[in-house]
Amino acid sequence: MKSLIDKLEKNTVLSKEEYAFLIENFDGEISEYLFEKARNVRIKNYGRDVYIRGLIEFTSYCKNNCLYCGLRCGNRNAERYRLSKSEILSCCEKGYALGFRTFVLQGGEDPYFTDERMLDIIKSIKSGYPDCALTLSVGEKSYESYKAYFDAGADRYLLRHETADNEHYAKLHPKEMSALNRKRCLEDLKNIGYQVGCGFMVGSPYQTAENLADDMIYIKELQPQMVGIGPFISQHDTPFADKKNGTLELTLFMLGLLRLTLPYALIPATTALGTIDALGREKGILAGANVVMPNLSPSDVRKKYLLYDNKICTGDEAAECRKCLEMRMKAIGYDIAVSRGDCLNFKNSERK
């Protein structure tokens, strides 16, 4: 197994069978072997900097019905809210003062936020904070919508592919949604010129080692600038309420494989990882991740953005999370960076 890790480090890719073999057979010792290599690659490319992204969860309405997610439209118990444009801008103001230079507008697929409303918000943020990167994470849209958002100034787009396997995708989503359209979206986003992020849940229901190996192959082909992964965590008001959570060990192992597969990628240690283990985010950084995404949303709405159970930081202020993360990163020998933190293998000059 060590020779497979060596091979991955050298070639930055393995065959599907080789990835699947590692995923099926890894243990604590091989994990440590992988993490050390992943850390070294990460430190070679990005030093000990940890980039921060200010997450603004601006709407908990969603027209989709993904089986795993607490915001699915079928969940009558979810509390719904929308932030106004001025509330969003005051999150940015607070965030800027705390050193954030990337804002992530994330929400469910909420028809209230038409292209017209989105464009107005994008332009306001970009004109108020021209030195900041703006990341959108608002789901599946047409090529035309994505293009309009980009032309209005959006720099990056996060859309997890969730699983590269069509059949597995169909088990996690209602029949109106398809892996094909998901991948079409990611292609469109790349072609338009966004810095693109994909990703998946680790340990989602029905997931196999082959599925995860396919995810690695898909990601290697897509060459995204960012990859977000975190453990699946069951939510009590969804059809997957009784499904098992993804594990810390497998999530960390996948993070290590990702780092060696995409040496330059921006990879967050996610809130979900911090939710299944008190030191999950620290362990994620030590397995090769280089981004954290604390919440900038007003604390009174945080408890309403519940994709999964027991989410951390729902009672804290932005300033508290910022401080907390600074201390946590310091404690493991890493530093929060105040910068846009663009991906090293993406040239902004490519922007038309």
Give the one residue of 23, 34, 38, 66 binding ligand SF4; rule: CB under 6 A.
66
Phi, psi (5° rounding) for residue 343? -70, 135
Work out the angle at residue 42's Cα, subtended by the Cα atoms of residues 270 and 334, and round it to the nearest 5 degrees.
Answer: 65
Here's the x/- map for ligand SF4, 130-149, by CB under 6 A: it reads as ---------x----------
Choice between 46 and 308, CB closer to ligand 5AD: 308
What's the distance, CA 222 to chain centroid? 16
| Residue range at the interface with ligand FES (CB under 6 A); choices 51-59, 148-156, 200-208, 320-328 | 320-328
**Which DSSP string do the residues of 186-250 spell out, in sequence order?**
HHHHHHHT-EEEEEEEET-TT--HHHHHHHHHHHHHH--SEEEEEE----TTSTTTTSPPPPHHH
Nearer to ligand 5AD, 57 or 282 (CB): 57
> What are the two backbone dihedrals, phi and then psi, of residue 109, each rounded to the nearest 5 degrees?
-80, 95
Q: Interface with ligand FES by CB under 6 A: which range of 141-149, 191-199, 237-245, 313-321?
A: 313-321
By CB under 6 A, which span of 62-70, 196-204, 220-228, 246-254 interacts with ligand SF4? Answer: 62-70
Contact 110, 103 (CB under 8 A): no
> What's the angle, vertex CA 100, arms to CA 98 and CA 105, rounded to 5?
120
Of residues 234 through 273, those in contact with ligand FES by CB under 6 A are none
Which amino acid makes up residue 125? I
325 interacts with, out of ligand FES, ligand 5AD, ligand SF4, none, CB within 5 to 8 A per kind: ligand FES
Chain positions contacting ligand 5AD, by CB under 6 A: 68-69, 160, 162, 201, 230, 232-233, 235, 272, 307-308
Stretch that binds ligand FES, among 181-189, 191-199, 298-306, 312-320 (CB under 6 A): 312-320
In the complex, what is the shortest distance from the CB of residue 107 to ligand FES, in angstroms, rounded to a whole number? 20
Which entry of ligand FES, ligand 5AD, ligand SF4, none binds 294, CB below 5 to 8 A by partner kind?
ligand FES
Q: How many CB atoms lie within 10 A of CB 98?
A: 18
Q: Map residues 143-172 to x or -, x wherever contact with ligand FES holds by CB under 6 A.
A: ------------------------------
Name the strand (E) or helix (H) holding 322: helix 318-331
294 binds ligand FES (CB under 6 A): yes
Instruction: Please tell me whether residue 109 binds ligand SF4 under the rule CB under 6 A.
Output: yes
CA distances from 51 to 251, 277, 301 (A): 20, 21, 25
Q: Looking at 20, 62, 159, 248, which residue binds ligand SF4 (CB under 6 A)?
A: 62
The SS3 assignment for 153 reads coil
DSSP β-ladder status, 291-292 and 49-52: parallel
Give which of ligand SF4, ligand FES, ligand 5AD, none residue 235 binds (C-beta under 5 to 8 Å, depending on kind).
ligand 5AD
Taking the complex as a whole, the smallest distance from the CB of residue 71 to ligand 5AD amounts, in Å, to 8
Q: Is 98 in the site for ligand FES (CB under 6 A)?
A: no
**Which strand ranges, in their side-by-side order, compose the sheet holding 156-158?**
54-59, 102-107, 133-137, 156-158, 195-202, 226-231
Comparing CA positions, the residue from 86, 71, 70, 229 lying closest to residue 158 is 229
Q: Least distance from C-beta 294 to ligand FES, angstroms?
A: 5
Among 6, 24, 221, 320, which residue sits at the site for ligand FES (rule: CB under 6 A)? 320
**Interface pick for ligand FES out of 302, 324, 326, 342 (rule CB under 6 A):** 324
Which token pair is 322? 């910022």
Nearer to ligand SF4, 49 or 165 (CB): 165
What is the rounded distance in angstroms from the CA atom of residue 69 to the CA atom of residue 79? Answer: 13
Which residues contribute to the site for ligand SF4 (CB under 6 A)? 62, 64, 66, 69, 71-72, 108-109, 139
